[in-house]
Structures are given as C-alpha cells and as structure tokens.
Amino acid sequence: MSEQKQASKTSLTGAERAAIFLMSLGEDEAAEILKHFGPREVQKLGTAMTSLRNVNREQVSQVLNEFVTAVSEQAGFGVGNTDYIRKVLVKALGEDRASSIIDRILMGGSTRGLEQLKWLDSKTIAEMIRLEHPQIIAIVLSYLDPDQAALVLEELPERIRFDVVVRIATMEGVQPAALQELDEIMERQFAGKQRLKSSSLGGPQAAASILNHLDSSIESAIMDKISEHDSELSQRIQDLMFVFDDLKEIDDRGIQLLLREVTTDTLVVALKGADTALRDKIVKNLSKRAGEMLLDDLETRGPVRVSEVEVAQKEILAIAKRLADEGKLALGSSGEEYL
C-alpha cells in the first residue's frame, strides 16, 4: 500500500468515520440513528459530513469493514452490560471525563428538562437561569457539557461567575429529589414529562473542565478570586485543569497546528519533563527529519532546571489554549472524536 493511501486512511477522525458510515446508509436509516444522539454529537456529525471532501471507495470500505469487525467481535449482549459500558467509556475517555457520562447512562432515568437545555444556544440558557440562585445555576452548568457550560458562564454577569464556579467545585453531588425538582421545572418549560431518578454532578473536576473552555482572561479572573477565597480549592482545581500531559488527548491535526507555533528550543525544554507517550505523539506529527532532529536535541541537551521546563510547558499550553479559544483546535478532542 502506498504511503499516500495509508495516510488517507489513518487521518480520518472518529467523527469523519461516523459521518462516512451514516452517509453510506439511506436517508431514513441515517435519520433513525441520529435520533439516538445528543446535540453535541449531532453537531459534530453534521460538521464532519459537510467537511468531507474526496472520500474514495477504499476509505468507505475501510469504515464499513471496521464497523462489521467491531460488531462481530461483541458477544454476550445482556451479560455484564453495566461493566462493559463502564470499561469502554473509561478506556475511550479516561476516568474523569467518563465519570459524568457513566452516571447519566447508569442512573436509571432520563432528564428531559435539563437535557433539552443542551439544544439551546448559550445566550438563551443564560437568560433562563441568570435570575436563579447561584446554586441552581451551578447545578445546571454541571449538567451541561463543559464547553457549552463555559459559553453560558461567559454570558452570565461577571459578579456571579466566581460564586457559581466555587459552588460547582465544592459540589459533592446533588440529592435525587432536588435534581428531580429542578428537572421538572425545566421540563415544564419544554412541555416534557420524563423525570430523573438519581445523579452525581459537580466537584473540582467539573469546575476545571468548564474553566478549561473559558477565554483565558475570564479564566484567570475567576481563578484569582477563587484563590483569594480558598487557596486549597484553587490548587485542587488548577491541578485538574488542562496540563502539559493532556496534549496527548489532542488529535493529530491539532498537534500539527500547535507545533507550527512552537519554537524548537521551547519544545525541547518542555519535553524534558514529558513522558514517553507524549514524546512519541509529538515526534509522530513531525516530518521524519524533524522528528529525528528533535530526538537528537533531547538526547544531547544537558540537564535542565525544573523551573525552566515548567516555563516552557506553560508557554506551549498558552498557545494551545489560544488556538482553542480561536476554535482552531479542541482540547482533549481525542476522546470526544468517538461518537
């Protein structure tokens, strides 16, 4: 197989493979499948469908073969489904990112009222909740996906952002009755009827995920206030936010875009403190010659102070965050590519 053909196959993202699969079906069949997706998945699939260009027969065959293989390898449906779902999601998304999704899947009910919010734009959601108690706002934002929650938070008055984020970070879950009541309030607004039985929302990880999607200036202002209010909580959130090792979760195209804006010297110093998996990912997304030169530089570079490594890593993270703010790459998109 030629290198060009191999590249065309391996460069497809999860969303693109799903889009090719759906487009290979009839309209009715594809529509039935889409009914089972949430708003974020529908948006991602729609974007992937519109961006596909020059898909060849070999790529379509590859996607269909992968689907058939995946289905044929699954056996014992109905036996240990809960453990299977948990293991697959954790393996695909990581423990922290998968936990909230697992809770929603396994909680035995649905959240029609709160779920409907995910189909609204951020300004509409902000208008609906801006006069609610900050604790109610915190619960609602915890239920939304982090990127959508961040957009809603930006629309809220600056005076309450800090309070809301602190409440999210210190939330240890929501009593089923309270969440059910909130869901019913939202449900009445959308004329829904289903209710929720149980859930687990909030916590430092939820706050960190939302802050990761905020504009850097807004994020810094909120974190400064949290630090003044509770330095220990601030550190816990900071530890869970996007860190250098998380670059492994950015898809290959995002890594390539990032590397174009990072100097070789900064990259070498930053990678002095990186694990093998991240180094391999970086090298894989460079040309063969550039990758070899980078490895040589890493090998011949003398000892580097930890403080210098941290500065270099923060510089690269700042670039990644800026590119994410500009919509040019998605932080942690690796896990999210699987629909």
- Give domain status of residue 258, yes or no: yes
The three-class DSSP label of residue 33 is: helix
Question: Which pTM was predicted?
Answer: 0.41
Residues 47, 49, 52, 53: what is their CA dihedral angle, to the nearest 10 degrees?
Answer: -120
Tens of pLDDT, residues 125-141: 888 888 888 888 888 88
Structural domain containing residue 221: 107-240
**Cβ atoms of residues 313 and 270 within 8 Å:** yes
Residue 98 lies in a domain: no
| Domain final residue, candidates 189, 206, 240 | 240
The confidence score (pLDDT) of residue 8 equals 43
pLDDT digits (tens, 9 = 90+) for 29-47: 777 777 777 776 777 777 7
CATH number at residue 43: 1.10.220.30
Final residue of a domain: which of 240, 263, 292? 240
Other C-beta atoms closer than 10 Å to the C-beta of 175 total 10
Q: Are residues 165 and 289 in the same domain?
A: no
User: Which sign, positive or negative, has the C-alpha torsion 243, 244, 249, 254?
Assistant: positive
Tens digits of per-residue pLDDT, 201-228?
678 888 888 887 777 778 888 988 898 8
